Chains A and B, each alone.
Chain A
């Protein structure tokens, strides 16, 4: 049963050139309409998966910090009514660090949000312009300040492995970032996603993405510095003081059920993959017509679920419990992870085994996708 709720707010002030999320730029959003529709979509899921209290709620986007705090409050109120909240529930909202949005932080905290994830991306004005962000470094710093006084838990994102970025440059930036004393950091390597403006620019030769070799060096440096600062990596790109991990995101990686509502939101409900209409207008129409925004509900076979559990779980430093997975999906351990391959990659230091647990070493993490291709048997993937 789902103990995590994701709510998608699909609007942004401008589209960032690297972004392939479900985000849209619209003039004027009918807040009243959106509130009603999100509430309806939420009720639909609560009916099907609403028996246990929630451990986490996550407002993602788009830019949920553009939501009026009263809307956030109304949604949380309804969620609590439908599911009830477990003690110490984590309620996260993604925010952009502009002064306008920072002005809302106190009100959002009042509405129940207790954790923010700030899209700082860089502390350097020139880089922020390259990344097409609307804020500058100074604004980001003061937003961070405001956030830290408004919320108990604050995390922020940085994008690194940018074109031409050197080890020295990144070390300087990351050390500064660690100095702000947040208990959580998300550090993403810049990825050129198909269909983004950056993809077009790269094709046209406007800039050259950083090669894999230097990117791998930056990855290693990141691990080293965060570890030394007491925020070790608990996932490929996420770092936290122990105990301060994002509980909501751990739900995904530990492959537990989660409810996803709003445009384009994915969910997992009892072996079923749910997907909602991506385009805001289509989602609105669907909710108006049918009472929910579902585009697709697909039942996943146990092999498919097991492969999902592996490809999410092995992102975590804690690894996966093979015996647990084997029992959960009724699939033999050998069919989950190919034993000779595991032994081989363990022998060359890219994977580890401890009792029932199997995981990827820090050296293996930057190679995770290739390792998954090796370790997860073809039958499981093809099934």
Chain B
């Protein structure tokens, strides 16, 4: 174990893409954790999808040994965190395990929405914050302006901010010195009963469930019988260690240290993040406060394109769940799409990522239905049923409207941070989405605007729209603020006079007509012409609010076909049948899967 005075635990936090992972690379390299040959870019982003998209999804922790200018060797525990808002819970866990944070700010972009969100969280933890102004190599870098922004907007002293280029390795020694000098060492009592925080857990095919812990008091070591205070289960520790980033086994972890343990646990579920670990005998009596449990906020149906793949989908989802306890799933059946799963996600990026991993890692073709949020509905008493409350995850389960006393929908507080020239369109966007403006402040050439918005209006395409109207310059962060009553209705989409359950959605009455019109127009383009004309309607109850018609096909025939052409003609027919297999038959209408997916991308004009 290491002397407390020689330990430094810190997170690297920033807005998305400001260079956290690249900075982590340089710190690992500078302290010799990996040689230049072992190094790759953003080495901690180990998932395929992280590497491909160039973003961090999961926090990663590494231990570095650093010999400082004072001649002492320090144990640095570095936690690289994701920048995207969907994964904010990863940041908050990491922060809870540290005493300080490196706040990375892009020297060209300046302070952004997640910079603020993350730094405020860090401040709440009483962290020592070390500002790092990164990417100073960029021609557009304005480190002095950014320094002033950090002081004016966040209100922390940035006079000693370290200037770096993580990409070209400038300023790295200064960062290391600042960590040692500014971030306080952890506190803890080696003699006290074991108290360790379960920071994270994941499934490793070789080791089983791996648990990341931060020891507060006492010592955790191999052979120890421990107790998960919340979970109430007991386990035998069979491995203790840390990542450098290579996996290294250690005899023990003492107070103030961060590392991993394994205890022959098979399911991540059993090692709940936020739990307190203590010894089975003579352990701590009071558990740590734990974390707020993350709740999925966006739901959608995932169906196999080929119904025969249902079992494969079930297995694949279960496998992914092993490593990502933050999404939920339950079986669902749809008249149009057959059997599939209703899945809950932390946000749209999370949804996209899970969908992509299923497609790629498990080689599945999927149909994704329109995303929706969770509604709380108060039902009246009926002849057969008592008055009660239901949580609605799926528009298909929308109850008989006459029984609905009250519907509530989740609201969020959204903070948009933008160069002020884009303010006009942003306000209009928020207004169109039923937003209520709460705050508007200017600092320098930038504006920070706070809106309360129904989550329902955000899950569709708010983020895409925001990006496009501000050419990517605005940033966006949100937190949930609870449920509010809303005039919400279920909109059905009828194709050839039959409702298609997978296309139904819950919308606010005020926007229903526009949505319905848009949906009908999109479907008109997406559903190919058939042998008969196809009416497409959007309806609320029995009332049609929008309508389009797909004209009938007029000509599709091979003009010339004699003896020699049979084989060719048959190939054509085979191809046609293959194409059909990728569509869903609804009545006599074949709807291509893109039509379902496109519902997701509604408002893109």
B397 beta carbon closer than 8 Å to chain A: no
Min C-beta distance of B282 to chain A, whole Å: 69
> What separation, in Å, do the CA atoms of A265 and B566 have in the docked complex?
12
CB pair A382–B574 under 8 Å, yes or no, is: yes
Smallest CB–CB gap between B409 and chain A, Å?
41
CB proximity to B under 8 Å, residues A328-374: 341, 344-345, 348, 350, 365-374
Q: In the assembled complex, how far is the CB of residue A343 from the closest CB belonging to chain B, in whole angstroms?
A: 11
Contact partner of B567 (CB less than 8 A), chosen from A189, A273, A350, is: A273
A381, B577: Cβ atoms under 8 Å? yes
Question: Known contacts being A307-B573, A371-B531, is A212 close to B554, with CB within 8 Å?
Answer: yes
Shortest CB–CB separation between residue A316 and chain B, in angstroms?
11
B559 / chain A contacts, CB cutoff of 8 Å: 188-189, 191, 236-237
Complex interface bits, B559-576 against A, C-beta within 8 A gives 1, otherwise 0: 111111011011011101
CB-based contact A219/B555 at 8 Å: yes
A370 and B561 form a contact (CB under 8 A): no
Interface residues in B561-596 by Cβ distance below 8 A to A read: 561-564, 566-567, 569-570, 572-574, 576-577, 580-581, 588
Establish whether residues B563 and A216, one from each chain, have CB atoms under 8 Å apart when the complex forms: no
B36 at the interface (CB under 8 A from A): no
A266 to B581, CA, bound (A): 30
Within 8 Å by CB of B531, from A212, A264, A268, A374, lies: A374
Q: Give, as a whole number of angstroms, the nearest-CB distance from B346 to chain A.
A: 40
Contacts of A381 in B (CB 8 A): 570, 573-574, 577
Min Cβ gap B65→A in Å is: 63
CB of A6 within 8 A of chain B?
yes
- Please pick, from A251, A266, A273, A370, the residue contacting B556 in the complex, using a CB distance under 8 A: A370
Chain A residues with CB below 8 A from B557, complex form? 236, 365-369
- Residues on A with C-beta less than 8 A from B577 are 373, 378, 381-382
Query: Of B555, B559, B588, which is in contact with the most chain A CB atoms at under 10 Å from its CB?
Result: B555
* A367–B531 touching, CB < 8 Å: yes
* Given contact pairs A213-B554, A378-B580, A311 touches B564 in the complex (Cβ within 8 A): no
Chain A residues positioned under 8 Å from B556 (CB to CB): 212, 366-370
Contacts of A188 on B, CB cut-off 8 Å? Answer: 559-560
Query: CB within 8 A of B581: which of A60, A265, A267, A378?
Result: A378
Known: A188-B559, A260-B563. A373 touches B554 (CB 8 A): no
B555, A249: Cβ atoms closer than 8 Å: no
What is the CB-to-nearest-CB distance from B404 to chain A, in angstroms, rounded to a whole number?
Answer: 37
Quick one: which of A344, A366, A372 contacts B573, CB cutoff 8 A? Answer: A372
What residues of chain B lie closer than 8 Å to A368, measured between beta carbons?
Answer: 556-558
Assess whether A216 is in contact with B574, with CB atoms less than 8 Å apart: no
Residues on the A chain within 8 Å of B560, using CB = 188, 191, 237
Provide the bound-state CA to CA distance between A31 and B559, in Å: 33
Nearest residue, chain A, Cβ from B563:
A252
Interface residue from B531, B563, B566, B588 paired with A311 (Cβ < 8 Å): B566
A133 in contact (CB, < 8 A): no
Is A308 part of the contact surface with B, judged by Cβ < 8 Å? yes
Which B-chain residue is minimally distant from A373 (CB atoms)? B576
Determine whether B553 belongs to the interface, using a CB cutoff of 8 Å to chain A: yes
Task: Tell yes or no: B532 within 8 A of A by CB.
Answer: yes
Determine which of B553, B554, B555, B564 lies in contact with A264 in the assembled complex, contact meaning CB atoms within 8 Å: B564
Question: Does B576 lie within 8 Å of A212, measured CB to CB?
Answer: no
Interchain CA distance A336-B603 in the complex, whole Å: 45
Taking a contact as CB atoms under 8 Å apart, the answer to whether A236 and B561 are in contact is yes
Q: CB of A59 within 8 A of chain B?
A: no
A311 vs B569: C-alpha distance when bound (angstroms): 8
Is B531 a contact of A266 with CB atoms below 8 Å? Answer: no
A6 touches B563 (CB 8 A): yes
Min Cβ gap A138→B in Å is 27
- Nearest to A236 among chain B residues (CB) is B557
Q: How far is the CB of B429 from chain A (nearest CB, A)?
A: 40
A219 to B555, CA, bound (A): 9
Shortest Cβ distance from residue A267 to the other chain B in the assembled complex, whole angstroms: 8
Question: Which residues of B lie under 8 Å from residue A366 when comparing CB positions?
Answer: 554-557
Give chain A interface residues in 142-160, CB to chain B under 8 Å. Answer: none
Distance of B580 from chain A, by nearest CB (Å): 7
Residue from the list A212, A216, A266 in contact with B564, Cβ < 8 A:
A266
A258 at the A/B interface (Cβ < 8 Å)?
A: yes
A376 to B577 CA separation, bound complex (whole angstroms): 10
Residues of B within 8 A of A378 (CB): 577, 580-581
Given A188-B560, A252-B562, A381-B577, answer yes or no on A212-B555 (Cβ-Cβ < 8 Å): yes
Contacts of A277 in B (CB 8 A): none
Cα distance A60–B563 in the bound complex, in angstroms: 11
**A223: Cβ under 8 A from any B Cβ:** no
Q: Are B563 and A376 in contact (CB under 8 A)?
A: no
Interface string of A292-336 (1 = CB under 8 A from B): 000000000000100110011001000000000000000000000
| Cβ of A215 under 8 Å from chain B | yes
Bound together, the chains give a CA A276 to CA B570 distance in angstroms of 19
**Closest residue on chain A to residue B561 by CB atoms:** A315
Residue of B nearest to A307 (CB): B570
B-side contacts of A341, CB under 8 Å: 588
Within 8 A of B (CB), among A216-266: 216, 219, 236-237, 249, 251-252, 258, 260, 264-266
Known: A236-B557, A369-B558. A376 touches B573 (CB 8 A): yes
- A260 near B564 with CB under 8 A, answer yes
Residue of A nearest to B564 (CB): A266
Docked CA distance A371–B573 (Å): 10
Point out the residues of chain A lying under 8 angstroms from B576, CB to CB: 369-370, 372-373
In the complex, the chain B residue whose C-beta lies closest to that of A308 is B566
Compute how far the CA of A378 lies from the CA of B578 in the bound complex, rounded to whole angstroms: 9
Chain B 523-561 interface mask (CB, 8 Å, partner A; 1/0): 000000001100000000000000000000111111111
- A370 and B569 contact, CB distance less than 8 A: no
When chains A and B are docked, how far (Å) is the Cα of A382 from the Cα of B560?
A: 24
A194-220 interface bits toward B, Cβ cutoff 8 Å, 1 = contact, 0 = none = 000000000000000000110110010
* Distance from B515 Cβ to chain A, minimum over Cβ atoms (Å): 31
User: Contacts of A213 on B, CB cut-off 8 Å?
Assistant: 554-555
A-B CB contact pairs (8 Å), 16 listed:
A236-B558, A237-B560, A252-B563, A266-B567, A312-B561, A341-B588, A366-B556, A367-B531, A367-B555, A369-B557, A370-B576, A373-B573, A373-B577, A374-B531, A378-B580, A382-B574
Beyond the given pairs A213-B554, A266-B566, 6 more chain A to chain B contacts, judged by CB atoms under 8 angstroms and listed by A's residue number, are A215-B554, A266-B567, A311-B570, A367-B554, A367-B556, A368-B557
Chain A interface residues toward B at CB < 8 A: 6, 22, 60, 188-189, 191, 212-213, 215-216, 219, 236-237, 249, 251-252, 258, 260, 264-268, 273, 275, 304, 307-308, 311-312, 315, 341, 344-345, 348, 350, 365-374, 376, 378, 381-382
